[in-house]
């Protein structure tokens, strides 16, 4: 299938999103992925209770808009929003709209960071391990099973592995990550290289293609407590052996498109049978926080 990701600055309006999705459709995309929390500037740079007003229920106005667009264009669309689940319970959530406009499913971010400039624990409750929208379960669509994970989730091999074990046919990471402008160039490059490498490793270890969609551009900290964030873009698409098919830079909006062969997973796993050779009898220690 042909997939597309939309890398953009998140200082835009809904009409910009719609135009980009239509452009992806025009070049043949069947699946379109948007970045994390792309409807707003990254408000988690500061702790401000007023930002809870940005949250929406699911279904709601945002999902209704995505649904109509998916149906009109006959696309599968992966979007991202600040979800209001109930009074006092909010999530960082990805939604998947199938090509008939139906809500195929949602994924609630499981790993929630809490670092200077990324105060997500103030806003987001982690996704549940059990229940209707539980943990690391792929979402069935007309194109296949999509393993959706969000930003900080992308650093954890356990999350990617559990998605693979549950039958995901592709790993998709909507993301909002960037540099501290105070870091020097060498440190910024180390961080970017680590980010690309860890996600390529998930592709390799699970023989699954990966779509990683990040925002780009500078966003100031409204509290002025930090120097803001320079989101580093560099969105990319890989194949099932981690080979990079296409990658954006860190300076502009881009729509990246690539053909992905889901059948490649079968042939790759015959050559690299990681799942066959896993020592599941010896991995009980993974349930511990630390073994010393």
Catalytic residue among 10, 25, 109, 254: 109
CB atoms within 10 A of CB 151: 24
Q: Does the active-site annotation cover 219?
A: no
| 176 to 86, 101, 153, 244: CA distances (angstroms) | 25, 26, 12, 20
Among 10, 83, 120, 151, the one annotated catalytic: 151
Q: In degrees, to the nearest 5, what angle opens at C-alpha 153 toward C-alphas 227 and 61?
A: 80
Maximum Cα–Cα distance for the chain, whole Å? 56
Q: Is 151 a catalytic residue?
A: yes
**How far is Cα 97 from Cα 109, in angstroms, rounded to an integer?**
17
Can you list the positions of beta strands (E) in 58-143? 76-86, 89-97, 103-108, 139-141
- From the list 10, 25, 30, 36, the catalytic residue is 36
Its sign, for the CA torsion 272, 275, 276, 280, is positive
**In terms of DSSP H, where are the helices of 166-289?**
185-206, 264-271, 274-277
- Is 10 an annotated catalytic residue? no
Sign of CA dihedral 243, 27, 213, 218: positive
Tell me the catalytic residues.
36, 109, 151
């Amino acid at each position: 299938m042909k997939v597309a990701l939309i890398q953009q600055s998140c200082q835009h309006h809904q009409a910009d999103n719609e135009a980009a999705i239509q452009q992806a459709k025009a070049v043949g995309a069947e699946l379109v992925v948007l970045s994390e929390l792309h409807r707003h500037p990254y408000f988690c740079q500061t702790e401000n209770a007023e930002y809870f007003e940005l949250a929406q229920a699911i279904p709601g106005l945002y999902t209704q808009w995505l649904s109509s667009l998916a149906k009109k264009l006959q696309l599968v669309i992966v979007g991202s929003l600040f979800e209001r689940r109930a009074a006092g319970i909010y999530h960082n959530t990805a939604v998947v709209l199938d090509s008939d406009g139906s809500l195929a499913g949602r994924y609630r971010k499981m790993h929630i960071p809490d670092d200077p400039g990324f105060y997500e624990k103030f806003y987001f409750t982690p996704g549940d391990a059990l229940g209707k929208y539980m943990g690391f379960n792929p979402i069935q669509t007309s194109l296949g099973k999509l393993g959706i994970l969000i930003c900080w989730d992308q650093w954890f091999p356990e999350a990617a592995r559990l998605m693979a074990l549950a039958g995901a046919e592709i790993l998709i990471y909507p993301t909002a990550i960037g540099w501290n402008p105070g870091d020097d160039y060498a440190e910024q490059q180390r961080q970017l290289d680590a980010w690309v490498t860890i996600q390529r490793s998930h592709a390799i270890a699970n023989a699954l293609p990966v779509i990683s969609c990040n925002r780009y551009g500078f966003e100031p900290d409204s509290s002025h407590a930090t120097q803001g964030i320079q989101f580093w873009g560099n969105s990319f698409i890989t194949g099932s052996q981690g080979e990079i098919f296409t990658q954006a830079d860190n300076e502009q909006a881009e729509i990246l498109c690539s053909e992905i062969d889901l059948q490649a997973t079968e042939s790759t796993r015959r050559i690299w049978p990681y799942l066959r050779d896993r020592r599941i009898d010896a991995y009980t220690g993974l349930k511990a926080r630390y073994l010393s």
